[in-house]
Structure formats: C-alpha cells, structure tokens
Amino acid sequence: MPVFLDTRDADFESAFEVLLSAKREDSPDVDAIVADIIEDVRKRGDAAIIDLTAKFDRLELTADQLAISSDEVDAAIAEVSAEERQALELAAARIRAYHARQMPEDAQWVDESGATLGWRWTAVSAAGLYVPGGLASYPSSVLMNAIPAKVAGVERLAITVPTPDGVINPLVLLAARLSGVDEIYRIGGAQAIAALAYGTKSIAPVDKITGPGNAFVAAAKRRVFGKVGIDMIAGPSEILVIADAQNNPDWIALDLMSQAEHDESAQSLLITTDAEFGRAVAAAVDTRLETLERRAIARASWRDFGAVVTVRDLEEAAELSNRIAPEHLELCVADPVSLSQNCVHAGAIFLGQYTPEAIGDYVGGPNHVLPTARSARFSSGLSVMDFVKRTTLSQMTPAALRAIGPAAEVLAQSESLEAHGLSVTARLDHLNEK
C-alpha cells in the first residue's frame, strides 16, 4: 500500500518530511571496486576492457572486435520492422527540431569605453554516450543523448553499449544511425566509462560523457569528472501528478505506473484536492498491477515509495511540488498553464490530461534525461547546452585601456599581485609617452 497523507492532519509535516527523505538509491559500496577497474583500464587499456567484458558480459572479444562495424549495424537494423523504424524516425525528427531551437547565439558589442566585448559558443570536440544494455536497453535514450550532441556540432560521438552474451539490440543500433553516431563499442560498466575518459589503443578519449547507468557506472562517472565533463548522476525515476477530480482515475493510475515499472526504487506520487479521487486512483493502480508485464517491479515501487497526498487547494499543491522538485510533473487540472507558473522546481512539466509523461519519454521533443532526487531545485535536463561551451572575447583599444586600466592597477595592488598590475601599467606608460 502507498502512503496516504492529508495536509489537514496534525502529523502531516513530519510524515511529509519522511517521504522527502526516503532513501531510494540502491547504492552498494562500489567505489573501491570502480576505482580498481578504472586503474586497470588506465594501465592495461584494451586488455583490461577485454578481460572485464568476458567477466561481466560473458563475451570473448579481441581488440578489433570492440567496435561494432558498419556492416554489423546494417545487418542488425535490417531486422527492425517498418512500424518501429517509422516510430523512431518520427521521434528523432521531433527531438532534433526541438533541440535545434536551443542553440545559443554568439554576441559582440562595443561598450561605452570603446572596448569590444562578447562571447562565442563552440561544441566539445568529442562526446561519449553510455547506453545501458540488457533489460534497460532503450533506443529512446540514444536519441535523447546523441541528437543534442550532434545538433550542438560535436564532431565525434562515440557510444558504448554492453551486449551480454553477444546479444545486440537492433533498435539501439538504428537509433544510433538515425542520430549520427560515429562509433559504437560493445562494452559496458565502469570499464566503458574509463575507456571513454582515458582512452585505450582502440578507443580514443572524449571530452564529455553522458547517459544513464547502474551504480557502478554512476560511481565511475563521479571518479572521472574533472578529467572529462559529465551530464549528471541520475537516481531512480520519479513522477508527481497533480490532479483534480475531473480526471479518469485509470489514466492517472497508468501515469503513476509508467515510472513505477522502471525500477523498484522509482517513486510515483499523486497530489489531489479530492481524497475520494485519490482513493479511486489507488484502486485503479491495484487493478492495473494484476496485469502489467512488469507488475512485480511496479508493485514494489508503489508499495515502498508511492504516496497519495490530499491538499486543500492547488496553491498548496504547487507549494508541495516545489519542495519535492520532481523529475516529471504532470498537471492534470482545469488550467494547467496557470498552475505551472507556480511550479518552479521540476525537471519537465506535462500540461493537461492529454499529455502523459510517456509522450515526453519518446516523441514529445524535449529531452527525457532529467534531474532526479530533488536536484531540479538547481539543475536542468540534458540539452544542447551540455555539449557547447562559451568562450568570452575582449579587445581593448588604447582609449579603452586608458579608461579602465587604472582601476585594474588599483585592484591588482590591493590583491598584492604585482605583475598583474605592472602588465597594465607598462601599456599605459607606453600610451602616455606618445
């Protein structure tokens, strides 16, 4: 049974704090293991990758087999049905169009002193995308990570995807082809992150690594950060639905289960202004849990981390939502746009009862790689901005240096950085001699 809360109850605040602080991450002590794997890859390169792939994926490879060849990709994607291909092509086109609008613009201007200032945006040269294998092998994640990188102008995009027992997911390879991925490697785990970060004889290093993974992958991304950039450390999936009684309880139940079926540690929350409606949704969830294919996973998630919260009004609902800062926020109310103005902490907002979160996972256009575990309070979902960096531009004229240089001299002196100040003084002295 999920937790049922009501803001009118005397113990609500303490119960809500328990809900907020629930530890959902499955975080075994893997850091020492990951540190050893990374060091092994740094020392032995391809040989370490080959040994670890045999150990964890039960797949014997040679160095020239680490990369999946273009012919192998062709053969695999030939197995994809026309219906699935068309769906992936639609998703790719919509994701590409949305992210193209995110591209920032260069700027340059002359200020009142006569100095020319500005900035220029350039893409990272190479990026690596980690794609989980096995049951968590999602072609949609390839599209969501690879397309923004290519839209940003990344010249070289490599992906790593484990293939346990040698099984390749044709849809993942088709998604890679549609996204413009340049290199595909059949490796996974912390060793894949290490290879992307430090490089081996067969795998050139990248500048940034994105993509989801298990606890070992997350620990590896933490360890290589600084050597390369990373997107985020993502936790279990989560959804918050704010709904009034003018909704179909079964629709809301399915929306809640759409995240619960991801992972036993996922969290599905409902906030409603009508307690009876909340109970109806919970009953609908129970009914759906009898037939869902992943019902064991969804049931555990709903039982251990689910909640139905009854509030006085939508203003209070927005206040609670901001404290939760959910990864996904559905607003199934009469005026979702107005309510969304008060919901300032959320990874993605889905407006109205005809916008299920699953649309965002696949074909909506916005990215589905989103901040979890309340990190939407200070971070954003994956975008083109994750694959570009800003370089500032400055050019002083003699007049501009005369206008602002003396202030730089004063500040350098106040910080006891003599050479800083003298580098300005020497130029001003030269100008004054003219």
Contacts of 417 (CB under 8 A, 6+ apart): none
Show the tokens assigned to 322: 């901001």
Specify the DSSP class assigned to residue 169.
Answer: -
Least Cα distance to 189 among 217, 147, 230, 159 occurs for 217
How far lies 336's CA from each of 269, 353, 354, 355, 376, in Å?
18, 9, 11, 11, 19
Count Cα atoms within 13 angstroms, Cβ side, for 220.
30
Catalytic, 327? Answer yes
Catalytic, 368? Answer no
Q: What is the largest CA-CA distance in the chain?
A: 88
Which three-class secondary structure state does DSSP give residue 40? helix
CA geometry: angle 107, 113, 119, nearest 5 deg: 20
CB 189 within 8 A of CB 37: yes
Tell me which of 183, 238, 327, 357 is the catalytic residue.
Answer: 327
Specify the DSSP class assigned to residue 326.
Answer: -
What one-letter code names the amino acid at 315?
A: E
Give CA 196 to chain center in angstroms. Answer: 18
Tell me which of 238, 261, 264, 328 is the catalytic residue.
Answer: 328
* Whole-number Å distance between alpha carbons of 376 and 112: 39
What one-letter code names the amino acid at 10?
A: A
What one-letter code names the amino acid at 243?
A: A
Which three-class secondary structure state does DSSP give residue 214? coil
How far lies 13's CA from each of 7, 311, 345, in Å?
8, 12, 20
**Residues designated catalytic:** 327-328
